[in-house]
């Protein structure tokens, strides 16, 4: 009888390209995220090589692009219950093994504690070929970090561009809701990269009027 296994895949949001949500279905998530695609492929190969039966695959998108949160604990609770119910091994890619990339304190603590109750296999993040393209986590995360730094440095510029356009629209008697809709349609994101809402347009305009 083959060993049951559960795959857990996670990644960070990328606000500068509008990647702030992730489908729950693993195939759909893999189409949107190269990191999820990589984890699914690597763990899938590992499972086949070891004749494991993947009974479930869980995906999770972190809340922040630059730090960990405890929001991961809920999907981890779910996979732990699945592992216990189906006597399954938890498979996860351990990105921390390469140049200390993507350390997640909450995840590390959870794995240490859960390892006393379920079997966990942390897989080394080797570079692999997916289709015709080689994927190296080291290179991918290095490029991502550089873009993240550029994004952070551009925060004030994004705010000023959006404010200038919002003020133009206010002259035309547009409401906060209409301004938010226009900025979003024109690709002028907020400083955090998230879409504008009526509420944060109000805060933006109020702050500008007080300076």
117 lies in some domain: yes
Kindly state whether residues 198 and 106 are assigned to the same domain: no
Kindly state whether residues 117 and 160 are assigned to the same domain: no
Kindly state whether residues 12 and 94 are assigned to the same domain: yes
Is the separation of the CB atoms in 70 and 106 below 8 Å? Answer: yes
Kindly state whether residues 123 and 179 are assigned to the same domain: no
The answer, yes or no, to whether residue 102 has pLDDT greater than 70, is no
Structure tokens at 29: 């998530």
pLDDT mean over 151-168:
86
Kindly state whether residues 86 and 7 are assigned to the same domain: yes
Is the separation of the CB atoms in 6 and 57 below 8 Å? Answer: yes
Report how far residue 90's alpha carbon sits from residue 121's, in angstroms, rounded to the nearest whole number: 6
The number of domains in the chain is 2
Which residues neighbour 24 within 8 Å (Cβ) at sequence distance 6 or greater?
59
Q: What is the pLDDT of residues 107-148, one digit of tens each?
A: 989 999 999 999 999 999 999 999 888 988 888 877 777 777
Query: What pLDDT was estimated at residue 150?
Result: 75
Which residues neighbour 120 within 8 Å (Cβ) at sequence distance 6 or greater?
89, 90, 92, 111, 114
Query: What pLDDT was estimated at residue 169?
Result: 94
Residue that wins the pLDDT comparison between 68 and 103: 68
Kindly state whether residues 185 and 112 are assigned to the same domain: no
pLDDT mean over 40-44:
97
158 lies in some domain: yes
Structural domain for 195, as ranges: 154-209
pLDDT mean over 179-195:
87
Structure tokens at 190: 């907020």
The answer, yes or no, to whether residue 100 has pLDDT greater than 70, is no
CA distances from 192 to 15, 22, 196 (A): 7, 18, 10
Is the separation of the CB atoms in 92 and 8 below 8 Å? Answer: yes
Report how far residue 153's alpha carbon sits from residue 159's, in angstroms, rounded to the nearest whole number: 12
Query: What pLDDT was estimated at residue 194?
Result: 77
Rounded to two decimals, what is the model's pTM? 0.75
CATH number of the domain bearing residue 81 = 3.40.50
Query: What pLDDT was estimated at residue 39?
Result: 96
């Amino acid at each position: 009888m083959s060993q049951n296994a559960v795959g857990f895949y996670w990644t960070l949001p990328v606000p500068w390209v509008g990647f702030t949500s992730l489908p729950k279905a693993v195939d759909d998530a893999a189409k949107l995220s190269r990191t999820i695609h990589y984890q699914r492929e690597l763990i899938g190969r590992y499972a086949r090589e070891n004749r494991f039966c993947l009974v479930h695959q869980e995906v999770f998108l972190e809340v922040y692009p630059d730090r960990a949160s405890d929001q991961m604990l809920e999907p981890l609770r779910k996979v732990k219950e699945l592992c216990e119910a189906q006597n399954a091994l938890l498979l996860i890619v351990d990105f921390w093994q390469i140049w200390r990339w993507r350390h997640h304190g909450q995840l590390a603590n959870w794995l240490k504690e859960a390892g006393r109750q379920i079997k966990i296999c942390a897989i080394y993040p080797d570079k692999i070929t997916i289709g015709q393209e080689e994927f190296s986590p080291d290179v991918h995360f290095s490029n991502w970090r550089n873009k993240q730094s550029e994004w952070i440095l551009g925060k004030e510029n994004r705010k000023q561009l959006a404010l200038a356009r919002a003020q133009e629209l206010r002259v035309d008697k547009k409401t906060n809701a209409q301004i938010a809709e226009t900025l979003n349609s024109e690709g002028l994101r907020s400083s955090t990269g998230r879409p504008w809402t009526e509420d944060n347009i109000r805060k933006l305009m109020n702050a500008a009027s007080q300076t």
